[in-house]
Structures are given as structure tokens and as C-alpha cells.
Amino acid sequence: MPIRPILEYPHIALRQKAKKVRKIDRSTLVLADDLIDTLYDAGGVGLAANQIGVLRRVIAIQLPEEEPRVYVNPEITYREGERDVEEGCLSVPGYHAIVTRAILIKAKGLDRQSKLVRLRAEGLLAQVLEHEIDHLNGILYLDHLESHQDLIPNQTSSVEVEGIGV
């Protein structure tokens, strides 16, 4: 599948609400595969369809050492607690910030076979689900900051330790 260009802030598609997928057909499955391949190539953990210019409610998640997942029409049905986490975005390269996310979420969506999936998530999975579902609603992690001055430039380093710049 082709690797698609990832749109960067302030591209207008990142601010638009994605449309619900009425039927998981071949075009939806191709989109899902493209999201996974693009996410893998970019080295991220989550990607929403609007980040590649497609206004459909589809996300891909690739947590470390797990198989990639795709959710169609995902939505968060419950949030519990708050925690501050470091977050970045493939559509806002070069920066990260501390944002407030839920400790626990419950979410639902469809898998590739149109089967309803219910999730109870904590930690990184909860954070990624909140982040990517925000994207589908035209919300960027920047919107959770009091000021864009809260953005922290990423450090670049020529030394790599287990894939993490130090």
C-alpha cells in the first residue's frame, strides 16, 4: 500500500470534522492499510485519516511491540480521572507539550470486519485513542494548551539509544 504524505499544521483538513463511515467497503480497507503503512513509515503510534487528507472516521494505532489496530467510527464513551502526559503529533513536527488526558477511558468502534469492538484503556493506549479521536473531531493537542508558548521544541541528538534520541 502507498505511504501517504502526512498533513502538517495549519492545514485546513486538520481542523475539519471527519465524516462517519456508513459501510466498511474496499475503499475503507485500503484507507486502513494506507494509514498503517504511513504510520509505520513515520514511526508514530497513532494516525487519523484527516492527517492524510481523508475526512473519514478511521484511525490506526501501532503501540510498541503490538500488532497494528484499525478502528472505524471510534468514539470515547467514558473518561475517568486526569493525568499530565507528554504528547507530540506527526502533524506538528518538531514539538511536544504536556497535556491533560484521562487515566482510564472506555471507547467503542468497528474493526475491519465491521464487528463492534469495546475497549477499556489506560496508559499509552488511552492517550493515543483520545489524541486520534480528537483529530477526527478537528481538535489538535495544541488546543489543550493554555498557550502555544507551552510547546517544547524537540531535542535532536546524534546519539540514538534503542531508537530514542538522547
Rounded-to-integer distance, Cα 67 and Cα 101, Å: 24
Catalytic residue among 132, 146, 160, 162: 132
Amino acid at 69: R
Whole-model pTM? 0.91
Do residues 59 and 35 lie in contact, with contact meaning Cβ atoms separated by under 8 Å? yes
The pLDDT tens digits along the chain (166 residues) read 689 999 999 999 999 999 999 999 999 999 999 999 999 999 999 999 999 999 999 999 999 999 999 999 999 999 999 999 999 999 999 999 999 999 999 999 999 999 999 999 999 999 999 999 999 999 999 999 998 889 999 986 433 333 332 2
Quick check: is 86 catalytic? no
* Residue 147 pLDDT: 87
Which residues, 6 or more positions from 66, have their beta carbon under 8 angstroms from its beta carbon?
none
